[in-house]
Structure 1
Amino acid sequence: MTAAHVIADDAEAVAVAAALADVFRAGAGERDAARRLPREEVERLSASGLLAVTVPAEHGGADVGAQTLAEIFRLLGSADGSLAQIPQSHFVYVQVIRRQGTPDQQKFFFAEVLAGRRFGNAQSEAGTRHVQDIRTRLEPRPDGSHLLNGVKHYCTGALFADWIPVLARAGDGTPHVAYVPRDAPGVTVADDWDGMGQRTTASGTVRLVDVPVPADRVVPHHLTFQGPQLHGAVAQLLHAAIDTGIAAGALDEAARFVRTSSRPWFESGTESAAEDPLLIQRFGELALEVRTAEALLREAARTVEASRARLTDDSAAEASIAVAAAKVAAARAAVEVAGALFEVSGTRSALDSLNLHRHWRDARTHTLHDPTRWKIQHIGRYALNGTRPPRHGLL
């Protein structure tokens, strides 16, 4: 791997993301239709330096704020809802190192990230009682190292990773994160993701059989939740940004199609579909959905930044609730706008060869990540009774 560029500040980070989004947008439909994994695009993402923008300044990174990070993901999501998903876990697990890593671990892994190395994801498991029923185990060895055993599903980005962070339980039952090289003995990554949407995220299966893990590659993740924390808020903020981007991308696609390819309805009396007053009304409604999601995303990111500056139980709760509101609005906008694309564009837009349905498939798939109904519950409890949301990393 050639040395990655080092981004200097927030402004450069957003500019780089915008330029990459323009490049990625051009081939998104073809990649999805052929299920061609975006290996070249992921390499370009690494080389750009964008994956290192949250590395702390004292370690040589730009240490960008939450508003910048959300905008990066919104831009990428507007271009390609699959490609935007791939680095989400990367930033989450950079954050784990930042919060719970030892100084030596931080020095090593932040240097890796600045060099363009990528973190994947091996977190979720299938067939368990619920999402937090983690059965993967870190078994201690006499020399202080561990053996790692388990099977992980929905491992987004693992095929592209240099390091795969694995969520596992230690001997005492507490959750830890083991950072495992992609090519470590006993690690197998299967490209078996067959979702209807986000088809090129490489969210396959990771199998771990007696994988040796040195003691200094394990981070005590359970400590993250023993005090005020923003782990879940930041992770969910990125998901909200992806959904907001998908909504904006679908709206832009619909507008372009109506302007260039749609015929006016004969009763409208207009020369073009873009002049039809009923279509104009519907586009106004859809634009309001997108603008609402964007505004709530910006507000959530500002709240996360303010909370980080004065982290308390109350400020962490405010951040989680603000992000939950943004995620609910973004999920609704993504599904509605991506579906309405066909309503406003007409019959021809449903042709499979145009692949306009990728926006809806991406939205419908990504918004299943965690249920918005529970976010609304926590928003309601907080609004009515002042009940702080729980510390479980998904809010």
Structure 2
Amino acid sequence: MGSDVEKRFQEVFQRIEEGAVERERSRTLAFEPVKWLRETGFLKLRVPQEQGGAGLSIPETVSLLVSLAAADSNIPQIIRAHFAFVEEERQRVRKSDDPLSASWLERIAEGALFGAAMAELSASTSTETNLTRTDGGWSLNGRKYYSTGSLYADWIAVIAMDGDDRVRVAVPVNASGVTRIDDWDGFGQRLTGSGTTVFEDVPVQEWQIYHRNTGDDFPINRFLLAYYQTFHLATLAGIARAILRDTVDFVQPRSRTFGVPGKTSPRHDPLVQGIVGRLSSLAFASEALVGRVAQTLDRAAALREAGEDDEELSFQAELEAYHAQQVLLPLVLEAATSLFEVGGASATSEKLKLDRHWRNARVLASHNPAVQRARELGDWRLNGVQPGEVWRQGVIREREVNMILKQQTKSS
């Protein structure tokens, strides 16, 4: 990555970092930082140069994401779905020269930002949002939650059902019938806009349906599973770096040490030095783990873009992401707690908001729960059952049950 690129974004990251505590304290949504990223071209890092983007590699992009997360961990999650959208369309346009994918990438190169509306709050994991035919095209109806980034977006990537087909639809946020609600109430990552989006008779044209899985297809591939998880890992690594930075900044000017009379310098206290040394090691290990997964993802992406078989490398990337998750999560959560050992009660001041690191890390760690991934990794080692197989079998059984019910309905 060129020094000019690093320098350009480091200036933006510094501005984002300077306002992070105040945004956290007042729960001011991050519209201004997102605007800065848009203006500097951060949103098109992975857009190919042919479509007007920077064309950076995945490792280069992940390195910048870690730096962005160190400035404010909310921001990478806001743009996570956007980068995944870019990745899918980039691979399609490289593999098949798809003109629709090229047009989406060109929109993004011009500054468009995508949010996501995929999950739903329901009694099961099924998708209730529906896309139905109308005289003039299609109509979208449904209610989504965890609509991360949609409050900041120009377009929303929506998952819906068209009969037995699972489709992905790009919907402009200002379309008739779209309502975005700022009701995300998690105790961490509070500025990500991960609340409710409602779609009521939203008009959709054919060209907005950018992906379709038939009833027999599994809805997501291993590459994207690993890619989405790596985004969280990069954000957590950024939190570890921020913890180290904030701890050093807190300790260096202090002139009091618990249990020592008079004026002293905690920076020379061996106990404090040991804690900071540990935090430095945790941050280093976190970034190293993310870097390893990013390298494998990059090789898999190259195969996908060339139209070659990526199954083995994408599976490797998925395994690496899950293994990294098992180690990285406890490292960062340890760091987020240990930082308070260097300053006594003064480190808990609301003015500092150092607790935000633990809250944000804990919320990120709750995505794709590590205990489930640990079980999958153990099942793979012991029994050769690949991660995701239980989910896949469940999807197959659900489809079989639905087919039987439909046949019974027709016969009656």
TM-score normalized by structure 1? 0.89
Say whether 1:184 aligns with 2:182. no
Give the Cα separation in 2 of the matches to 1:360 and 1:227.
31
Q: Which of 193, 198, 212 matches 1:207?
A: 198
Partner of 1:331: 329
| SS of alignment partner, residue 89 of structure 1 | helix
- Aligned partners of 1:221 and 1:291: how far apart in 2? 41
Q: Counterpart in 2 of 1:107?
A: 102
Q: Identity of paired residues, percent? A: 32
**Distance of 2:331 and 2:278 partners within structure 1:** 11
Residue from 108, 111, 115 that aligns with 1:116: 111
Contact kept? 1:14, 1:68, Cα under 8 Å: no
Aligned twin of 1:20: 12
Aligned equivalent of 2:39? 47
When structure 1 is superposed on structure 2, of 340-349 and 113-122 the one drifting more is 340-349
1:21·1:79 contact (CA, 8 Å) conserved in 2? yes
* Residue 32 (structure 1) aligned with residue 27 (structure 2): no
Counterpart selection for 2:63 from 51, 58, 71: 71
**AA at the equivalent of 1:178:** V
Distance 1:214 1:100 in 2: 20
Alignment correspondent of 2:355: 357
The more displaced of 23-32 and 150-159 is 150-159
Once the two structures are TM-superposed, the CA of residue 285 in structure 1 deviates from its matched residue by 2.4
Say if 2:76 and 2:231, in contact at 8 Å, map to a contact too.
no
TM (norm. structure 2) is 0.85
Q: CA deviation at 1:68?
A: 1.2
Give the equivalent residue in structure 1 for 2:276. 283
| The one of 111, 124, 128 aligned to 2:123 | 128
Give the length in aligned residue pairs.
381
How far apart, in 2, do the equivalents of 1:199 and 1:120 lie? 16
Q: Which runs of 5+ in 2 are unaligned?
A: 304-308, 393-412
Query: Is residue 51–residue 116 contact of structure 1 (8 Å, CA) maintained in 2?
Result: yes
Question: Residue 195 of structure 1: which of 167, 180, 186 is its match?
Answer: 186
Looking at structure 2, the residues matched to 14 and 150 of structure 1 have their Cα atoms a distance apart, in angstroms, of 41
Cα distance change on mapping 1:331 and 1:112 into 2, 3 Å: same
Cα 1:226–1:156, aligned 2, differ >3 Å: closer, same or farther? closer
Counterpart residue type for residue 240 of structure 1: L
Work out the CA distance in 1 between the residues paired with 2:370 and 2:156: 28
- Distance of 2:39 and 2:16 partners within structure 1: 14
Whole-angstrom distance in 2 between the partners of 1:376 and 1:20: 37
Separation of aligned partners in 2, 1:390 and 1:93: 22
Report Cα offsets for 1:47-98 as digits up to 9, x if no partner.
1111011112332322221101211211111111112221111111222333
Q: Tell me the alpha carbon deviations over residues 191-235 of structure 1, each in whole angstroms, 9 at most, x when there is no partner.
A: 122222112222221000111111111122537858964111111
Q: 2:373 — aligned with what?
A: 375
1:175 to 166, 170, 188: 166
Aligned partner letter, 2:110:
A
Superposed displacement of residue 43, structure 1? 1.0
SS in 2 for 1:121: strand
Task: Report the AA paired with residue 29 of structure 1.
Answer: V
State the SS of the aligned residue for 1:263.
Answer: coil
Secondary structure in 2 matching 1:340: helix
SS of equivalent residue, structure 2 residue 117: coil
Change (3 A) 1:342 1:227: closer
SS of the residue 1:260 aligns to: coil
Q: Tell me how far 1:388 sits from its aligned partner.
A: 3.3
Distance 2:99 2:274 in 1: 58
**1:321 aligned partner, one-letter code:** L
- Matches of 1:229 and 1:56, distance apart in 2: 22
2:400 match = none
Give the Å deviation of 1:28.
Answer: 0.2
Give the one of 58, 62, 75 matched to 1:83.
Answer: 75
Measured at CA, do residues 302 and 11 of structure 1 come closer, stay the same or move farther in structure 2, by a change above 3 Å?
A: farther
2:252 corresponds to: 259
1:113, distance to aligned residue in structure 2 (A): 0.2
Q: Secondary structure at the match of 1:334?
A: helix
Match for residue 310 of structure 2 among 278, 300, 312: 312
Query: Any residues of structure 2 matched to 1:120-159 within 5 Å, and which?
Result: 120-130=115-125, 133-142=126-135, 145-159=137-151
Tell me, what secondary structure is at the counterpart of 1:54?
coil
Range that drifts further, 19-28 or 255-264: 255-264
Deviates more, 1:215-224 or 1:241-250: 215-224
Write the distance in 1 (CA, Å) between the matches of 2:99 and 2:326: 39
Gaps of 5+ in 1: 1-8
Taking only aligned residues, the RMSD between alpha carbons, in angstroms, comes to: 2.5
Q: Distance in 2 between matches of 1:268 and 1:113?
A: 60
| Cα distance in structure 1, aligned partners of 2:175 and 2:155 | 9
* Superposition deviation, residue 282 in structure 1: 2.2
Cα distance in 2 for residues equivalent to 1:262 and 1:324:
43
Task: Tell me which amino acid in the other structure corresponds to 1:64.
Answer: L
Instruction: Say whether residues 1:61 and 2:53 are aligned partners.
Output: yes
Cα deviation 1:313-334 (Å, max 9, x = unaligned): 2211111111222233332232
Q: In 2, are the aligned partners of 1:87 and 1:157 still within 8 Å (CA)?
A: yes
